[in-house]
């Protein structure tokens, strides 16, 4: 079936996890483009702030306090969208939480809680969204991660949840295509993004968590999400490093193991010792922040991400990624 998606300025978008990081950047970008937005998050205070901000800028917005791990609250988000705007055209499953620590050091109950948000939140959001979109048509966008393709040490549960999101999204896409449903299903896979992700994560390490370089601005992910809302696309990787890591995994997974063992344990830790602090695993964060506290260089642009949105560039991207992997592996062998 030919899938036709509206211009973003004519759409109603539902965005979960809308009060921080990628979700917040996407909400602001969609509102600037003229879209009506329905924003979901666990913090009533943060939702009230973004609602006031967007209303003041002339945008039409409705906010819903909801935990995506609870089906009834996800259904409430859809009901509000129908009541306020008559429905929605794009649903973005973005809400997520994380945990840093060696897999055997992280309590199972914390890992289960992470899956309630990261995986079951996507499942429940997708099922609720498709009750509407299968009849009306539109876009379902699930936010995965570079770790959907390649697990990172010290983020075992998070990696597992995002791999599950990828598998679920791919399965759902095939089933909807087979039945001829007028729905575009996209998986967005960002690299390291300068959001409050490490500050909001539960930490079981002796040092404060950090993002592995290179790190990109959340606006690049927002651009990818809005592109997928207007253009049927299977998946979008944000940041050339994410594509590089995914290609490394496919070409030589064992050598990639060794590379990550040598680099990612240190890169994901700051020099400062871990401190007592609140995290967002069980309770919402109250701060309304797109950007985090990353101390290194943050890339505001990505040639790869821009090129990936142009189909004619696909072959060139693949060749470039392959050459980059060869260069990286050659360098690794020389230093081993």
Of 35, 27, 28, the residue nearest 9 (C-alpha): 35
* H/E segment holding residue 140: strand 138-143
Residue of 158, 168, 204, 216 marked catalytic: 158
Of 270, 130, 159, the residue nearest 212 (C-alpha): 270
List the 215-216 sheet strands across, edge first: 192-193, 215-216, 298-299
Q: Are 280 and 97 in contact (CB under 8 A)?
A: yes
Q: What is the DSSP string of 234-259?
A: SEEEESHHHHHHHHHHHH-HHHHHHH
Q: What is the dihedral angle through the alpha carbons of 40, 43, 47, 48, rounded to the nearest 10 degrees?
A: 140
Q: Which whole-number Å values give the CA distances from 183 to 61, 130, 162, 175, in the listed order?
A: 24, 8, 22, 11
DSSP 3-state assignment of 135? helix
Q: Is 259 a catalytic residue?
A: no
Residue 249 is encoded by which pair of tokens?
A: 């995994």
How many other CB atoms sit within 10 Å of the CB of residue 331?
Answer: 11
Query: Which residues form the catalytic set?
Result: 158
């Amino acid at each position: 079936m030919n899938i036709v998606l509206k211009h973003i300025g004519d759409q109603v978008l539902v965005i979960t996890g809308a009060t921080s990081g990628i979700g917040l950047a996407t909400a602001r970008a969609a509102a600037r483009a003229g879209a009506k937005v329905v924003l979901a998050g666990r913090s009533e205070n943060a939702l009230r702030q973004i609602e006031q901000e967007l209303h003041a800028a002339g945008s039409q917005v409705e906010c819903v306090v909801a935990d995506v791990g609870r089906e009834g609250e996800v259904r409430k988000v859809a009901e509000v969208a129908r009541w306020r705007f008559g429905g929605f055209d794009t649903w973005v499953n973005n809400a997520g939480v994380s945990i840093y620590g060696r897999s055997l050091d992280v309590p199972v109950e914390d890992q289960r809680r992470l899956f309630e948000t990261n995986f079951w939140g996507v499942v429940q959001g997708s099922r609720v969204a498709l009750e509407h979109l299968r009849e009306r048509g539109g876009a379902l966008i699930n936010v995965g991660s570079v770790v959907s393709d390649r697990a990172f040490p010290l983020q075992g549960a998070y990696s597992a949840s995002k791999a599950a999101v990828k598998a679920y999204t791919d399965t759902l896409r095939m089933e909807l295509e087979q039945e001829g449903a007028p729905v575009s299903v996209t998986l967005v896979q960002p690299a390291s993004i300068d959001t409050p992700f490490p500050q909001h994560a539960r930490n079981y390490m002796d040092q404060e968590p950090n993002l592995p370089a290179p790190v990109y601005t959340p606006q690049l992910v927002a651009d990818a999400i809005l592109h997928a809302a207007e253009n049927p696309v299977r998946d979008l990787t944000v940041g050339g490093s994410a594509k590089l890591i995914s290609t490394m995994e496919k070409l030589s997974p064992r050598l990639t193991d060794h590379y990550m063992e040598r680099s990612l344990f240190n890169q994901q830790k700051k020099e400062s010792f871990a401190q007592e602090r609140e995290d967002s695993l069980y309770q919402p964060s109250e701060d309304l922040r797109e950007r985090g506290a990353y101390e290194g260089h943050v890339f505001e642009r990505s040639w790869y991400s821009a090129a990936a949105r142009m189909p004619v560039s696909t072959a060139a991207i693949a060749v470039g990624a392959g050459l980059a992997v060869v260069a990286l592996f050659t360098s690794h062998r020389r230093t081993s």
